[in-house]
Structures are given as C-alpha cells and as structure tokens.
Amino acid sequence: MLRFLDAGESHGKALVSIIEGLPSNIKIDLDYINSELGRRQKGYGRGARMKIEQDKAQIWSGVRGMVTTGSPITMVIYNKDYDNWKDILESKPEEDKKITVPRPGHGDLVGFLKYKTGDIRDVIERTSARETAIRTAVGALCKSILEELDITIRSKVNSIGTIQDEEADLFDNSNYKIIEESELRCYNKNIEAKMKNQIDICKENGDTIGGSIFISMKGIPAGIGSYSQWDRKLDAVLSFAVMSVQGIKAIEFGNGLSQSLTGSRFNDEIYYENNKIERKTNNCGGIEAGVSNGENIELKAFMKPIPTVRQSIASIDLKTKTNVTNRYERSDVCGVVPASIVLENVCAFEILKEMLNKFPGDNFMEFKRSIEQYRNEIYTY
C-alpha cells in the first residue's frame, strides 16, 4: 500500500516525508518535482514568505541513480527562513514571550487546549500551510509517475470571492497555456483583472479573500475505487485528501451541487459509439457508486479566506482571561492560486495509491503492464 508521513514546522530546519510502497525501477524526475514546488510558490496575492523561500526537494533514500529501489523514499525541503527563527524555536520562551492570544479561524485555540504546551507558537508551526510544500513534493513524484501511465491532472482557479472565471477545456493545450501564464490561473483575462482588483481592495483594507478551484483528471480507467466498503469509495478517498488541505472547507464532484437538474437530466446517459462505451455529459464527475467510470474525474474545491487579517477582530487572552483583539502574523491575502497546485498533487497521490491497490506490482514494468492489459480488455468490452 502506498502511504507517507510528513514532519516539520513552518519555520523549523526542514520539512520531511517518508514515502513507502512505490515499485522499483521508476525513474525519478527531480526537475519535475521542483517545478511543481515552483508553481506552488506563485500567484497574485502571495505574501512576503515566498520571497524568502526557494523550495527545492532533496531525496535522501530509496533511490539509486535516481531510480527507485522499492525501499522507502525520504524527501527533504529545507526552510531558508529557519535562520531567522532558530533562536525562537530552539528554546523554551519566557512566560511573557509566550503567545496566548488565539487568532480566530486558525488552529490556535483548539491546539492550545488540546496539547497544553502553554504557547500557541507550537500550534502555529504545525498547522501552517507551509506543510503543503512537502505534500506537493510527494504528490509531484506521484504525478510524474501517473503521466508515464497516460494519466494527467490539471487545475484552474474557478472563482475569487464572487467573481467567476469562465469554463475552459483544461486538456486543450492552448487553453491551458493561457491558464498557466495567468497570475491567477484563470482563463478569461478580463475576469482576471476584476479578480486582481478584488484582491487589491482586500489588501488595502487589511482583509483576505477565498475562492474555488476546478480540478480535472484525465486517463483514469473505469473500475478504480470500490463500492464494496464505504471507506474504499473513490470520491470518499479524494474528499478526505482534498479536505485535509489547509483552508479547504467544501468539495463538489461534477455538478453535484446543481439544483436545476432533475434526475433524468443529471444522469450521464450511456451509448455505444464506434464499438466503445461513450457518454455525452459528465454530471457525476467521472465517479459512480464510488468507482471511476472512465470519464474525466472532475471536482471543485472551495477555499475559505485566509483567517489571518490585519483588521481588528475579537479574541481572548488565555493567560489574563480578558477580551482583546486578535494578533497579526505574516500572511497571504489570497491563497487560492497556490492551493490549486497543492490540490493537483494531493489528488495525484491518491490516484496513484488507488491504481497500485488495483494493480499491485513490485516493479514498475509489472505495474505498467497490468494497467495496459486491463485497459485493452475494458475498452473493448
């Protein structure tokens, strides 16, 4: 079974992951992984931290000559900002230096109450979205493997606040080039300008703004996932992963939130065309009964506004037990663009895991051969 753990603090020495379950003989493309980390650092509305960090992953184990051996893979990303924080993080603070005012919307209060270290700094360091850098690196490794299997995952920003971008075919390369070159990863330039203006207004007002992200996954064969147990359903697996990303508060598959479609119009009718099973709609988002149906798997993820705001909002001081206003810590104004890259790679890990569950193999040639044989059988049914 493919799995990983990650560790590290936002301003600690490094972020680390150990990945277990990858077959041997997979060529690792470190440039691809680092390019995904670079994509994550871009975007209109990003904060000052991205001017400090230049994220690059290192691989410390599980490869030889940049080819997997079947052993656990260790990946490391050093935090450059650690040099500015090591005096704070390597010693216990004096009582008057402890953070005791929680920021509403963050994990500050619940972490303080749960772990009782007496200092919210310990909570901030692990709940920070900085953790998504190592998750992106893990996912990028998986995403590059999926591309070897003709599975592609792409995304775009669907909305910023109430401003909606227009729809676009992500697998039309000319469309996707426009999206990739956009600072807000959207398709319509006029809409992009409106989105930027909204972000600028929030920045000026000491506020933040959220939005939504559209993700499409092409090339996943029918039959991935299972309806036999609730926790093996593919949409449930993807939902768990997507919702675990900081700031994501809702998810929709296909047109699942549409209130205008009746059952007869929502169902994706099935046809035989050219001796192949075809669909003309994809309202279910490529998943039926928890199992992929061969269409693109499509979902939207909704991200709340980043809770760190410069405006004064009500909070409490846990030490003095008085009502105060919140404290501010460096933050982005809008995190929707980097979240789109994180989610591509988070989904890649889950899809590769499900592919390995269905087509287990100790080496990549065996794994790939099983998938090719399955595709030949299922698509000629």
Please give the pLDDT value at position 162: 96
CB crowding 214-239: b at 16 or more within 10 Å, else e:
bbbbbbbbbebbbeeeeeebbbebbb
CA-based torsion, 69, 39, 147, 5: positive or negative: positive
Judge whether 185 is annotated as a binding position: no
Give the mean model confidence (pLDDT) for residues 241-252.
Answer: 98
Residue 59: CA count within 13 A, CB half-sphere:
24
- Give me the sheet containing 297-303, strands edge to edge: 163-164, 152-160, 211-218, 297-303, 248-253
Give the mean model confidence (pLDDT) for residues 292-315.
Answer: 95
Judge whether 250 is annotated as a binding position: no
Judge whether 193 is annotated as a binding position: no
Asked whether the predicted pLDDT for residue 276 surpasses 90, the reply is no
Give the mean model confidence (pLDDT) for residues 238-267.
Answer: 94
Asked whether the predicted pLDDT for residue 96 surpasses 90, the reply is no
Question: Which helix H or strand E contains 5, and what residues bound it?
Answer: strand 3-7
Per residue in 127-178, pLDDT (tens digit) is: 999 999 999 999 999 999 999 999 999 999 999 999 999 999 999 999 999 9
Helices (H), 253-331: 263-266
Judge whether 107 is annotated as a binding position: no
Alpha carbon distances (Å) from 348 to 97, 108, 177, 324: 41, 30, 21, 43
Asked whether the predicted pLDDT for residue 341 surpasses 80, the reply is yes
Judge whether 321 is annotated as a binding position: no
The rounded distance, in Å, linking the Cα atoms of 17 and 132 is 11
Q: Which of 2-16, 34-48, 321-335 ranks highest by mean pLDDT? A: 2-16
Query: In this structure, which amino acid lies at residue 255?
Result: N
Judge whether 128 is annotated as a binding position: yes
Question: Which helix H or strand E contains 216, and what residues bound it?
Answer: strand 211-218
The rounded distance, in Å, linking the Cα atoms of 168 and 187 is 7
Asked whether the predicted pLDDT for residue 248 surpasses 80, the reply is yes
Give the pLDDT band of residue 381 (cuts 50, 70, 90).
Answer: low
The rounded distance, in Å, linking the Cα atoms of 361 and 357 is 9
Please give the pLDDT value at position 51: 62
Rounded to two decimals, the pTM is 0.95
CB 155 within 8 A of CB 213: yes
Judge whether 289 is annotated as a binding position: yes
Per residue in 55-76, pLDDT (tens digit) is: 999 999 999 999 999 999 999 9
Domain assignment of residue 60, given as a range: 3-378
CB 168 within 8 A of CB 186: no
Query: Residue 174: which CATH number?
Result: 3.60.150.10
Judge whether 247 is annotated as a binding position: yes
Give the pLDDT band of residue 368 (cuts 50, 70, 90).
Answer: very high
Report the share of the chain in percent with pLDDT over 70: 98
Give the pLDDT band of residue 104 (cuts 50, 70, 90).
Answer: very high
Judge whether 154 is annotated as a binding position: no
Please give the pLDDT value at position 300: 98
3-class DSSP assignment, residue 66: coil
Give the pLDDT band of residue 329 (cuts 50, 70, 90).
Answer: confident
The rounded distance, in Å, linking the Cα atoms of 248 and 339 is 9
CA dihedral 332, 217, 70, 242 (to 10 degrees): 40
Please give the pLDDT value at position 52: 66
Please give the pLDDT value at position 108: 96
Judge whether 307 is annotated as a binding position: yes
Give the mean model confidence (pLDDT) for residues 255-259.
Answer: 90
Backbone phi and psi for residue 254, each to the nearest 5 degrees, phi listed first: 55, -130
Report the 3 state secondary structure along 67-80: EECCCCEEEEEECC
Candidates 152, 153, 144, 134; CA nearest to 59 is 134
Number of domains in the chain: 1
Query: In this structure, which amino acid lies at residue 172?
Result: D
Q: Which residue has the higher pLDDT, 91 or 358?
A: 358
Candidates 300, 334, 302, 344; CA nearest to 137 is 344
Please give the pLDDT value at position 261: 86
Judge whether 375 is annotated as a binding position: no
The rounded distance, in Å, linking the Cα atoms of 299 and 220 is 14
**DSSP letters of 118-177?**
S-THHHHHHHSGGGHHHHHHHHHHHHHHHHHTT-EEEEEEEEETTEEPPP--TTSHHHHH
Instruction: Residue 343: count other Cβ atoms within 10 Å of its Cβ.
Output: 28
Judge whether 304 is annotated as a binding position: yes
Structure tokens at 248: 């994501």
Report the share of the chain in percent with pLDDT over 90: 85
| pLDDT mean across residues, the chain | 94
Q: Which residue has the higher pLDDT, 27 or 381?
A: 27
Per residue in 43-54, pLDDT (tens digit) is: 998 766 556 678
Helices (H), 223-304: 234-243, 263-266
